[in-house]
Chain A
């Protein structure tokens, strides 16, 4: 039974991965990515990592890929890509690097047991029925609280940084508009625009 689930999901993961790179349409690629992510979540479940599986779906499948799709549909880049690329070297380089990375992973897996070895650095996973939430929470908020908080700070910095960058580029675009001499603005436009702003203030 376990083997059946594993092979079905593994096949889905690989089909999804191939679909992502082979798909000509970005939306189709995103959907194949979704297939891969959900199948990986099932594989996590099979390893009794229920929490990781749930987070895999909540974060990756239902937030990040949705964001990808959102950007694709909003920016209208959902056109079919032309098969000929500008840099023919890229394709060769990608294949070579991919093979190298795969060899690296295979060598590591073969030579060491740390990939498939003991299930956890923090001792047993706890009972399967609690979904290891407690074990994870305990180590996260005791021994690894520093790393945990630092990660949180890092994320906040990233968010603040992206907001600042977005605002700055906005100001640059506005700058030429501000240089227009005031006299050139037709007077009639000012009262027409103000009620529109006034209407929304009570909110």
Chain B
């Protein structure tokens, strides 16, 4: 039964005109929501950081400066675009779009609400529910590397190239930890569909946020996911891609006008999408207590309440990213690499082993506590052996001399 939920009921029957219209509406709305969210997020980020640093922040355009990002966007849109002489022109033009497409596509599998009916069709409030949605997230985050890499290479100058090589190494390194963290959820959920993962975290009683949501059941994976997602989105403290004092501006140094704006947009779109994915996988997605004084199938409880819950959770995570941006200094590059390769990937693999053991113990009806503790002991011992065999940072430098 639950398997059947993995496909949107909208697309089960034959495709009629009204189905087509619903799909188009969903795509357009998702795109508009994401663009608006980026505008507001950039404004809120600047305001919050300003507050944390005892400044005022943007306050000229619109009430509380809320239109500041829009003004910046309009300015960039009408700015002259320059392409360096040494640039590879077709690739230089292509790169911004390669950067923004995966950022948007990744958002398409995120459920932002429950099951509703539009124009007489039952459908999920997400653009598409793919049977391998979680793998789609991984695929798109992998494709995001191209925008950064090609932008740096095609600029035909040194700093962007260095920035992009550095960025692609970082993204590739954290891709593994990112995927393994998602795997921790997938093993427990037993499905790849994002909709079904959200359904499994449904709000049934007041303790659902502990017993049903995956953040506690997979707390190690959750922590690794947050770190790896921060690194994947080049967000501070992992923003080595655009380390100003070393690289001028990183991969987008040579970009101006609307092309620069697209990179900027993609970067913040990625932050929002990653927060939405973290909410979907670990924090219950749109689930939350509905309004008790209204009927369960009341339009407010079906449409509005899940969306509000989703929004609240995403906003909480976004605030946390801003907080991190304001408080943590940028990491050193070798520390970044050793965190990714020597800690996150190993811990994520061992966590996957522990989760799998517990899952098998549940199916085979073994003593769950015993199985879990044996698995944890084995994992810790395994990491100990690994850690002992790793060259210490001092030794590594000896080796290079």
Contacts and interface: CB of A to CB of B under 8 A. Distances in A.
Interface size on A, as a range, is 35 or more
Interface in B1-59: 3-4, 6-7
B172 A200 contact: no
Given A57-B142, A66-B145, A133-B192, A50 B132 contact: yes
A157 to B, nearest CB: 18
Interface residues of B, number: 42
Interface of B: 3-4, 6-7, 88, 90-91, 94, 130-132, 135-136, 138-139, 141-143, 145-146, 149-150, 152-154, 161, 164-165, 168-169, 172, 175, 192, 334-335, 338, 392-394, 397-398, 401
A133 B153 contact: no
Which 4 pairs across A and B sit closest by C-beta, in order of nearness? Answer: A62-B142, A131-B131, A54-B135, A57-B139
A131 B165 contact: no
Interface residues of A, dominant DSSP: helix
Interface string A24-53: 010110010010000000000000001101
Given A70-B149, A70-B169, A201-B392, A58 B131 contact: no
Contacts of A78: 153
A128 B139 CA distance: 20
A48 to B, nearest CB: 10
A73 interface: yes
B393 A62 contact: no
Contacts of B152: 73
Interface residues of B, dominant DSSP: helix
Contacts of B135: 51, 54-55, 58
Given A129-B7, A130-B6, A201 B393 contact: yes
Contacts of A18: none
B94, B131, B169, most chain A CB atoms within 10 A: B131
Given A73-B149, A196-B397, A197-B394, 16 more contacts: A27-B153, A28-B91, A50-B132, A53-B132, A54-B135, A54-B136, A57-B143, A58-B139, A67-B172, A69-B153, A73-B164, A74-B165, A78-B153, A131-B6, A131-B131, A200-B397
Contact of B394 (A50, A51, A198): A198
Nearest to B335: A203
Contacts of A198: 394
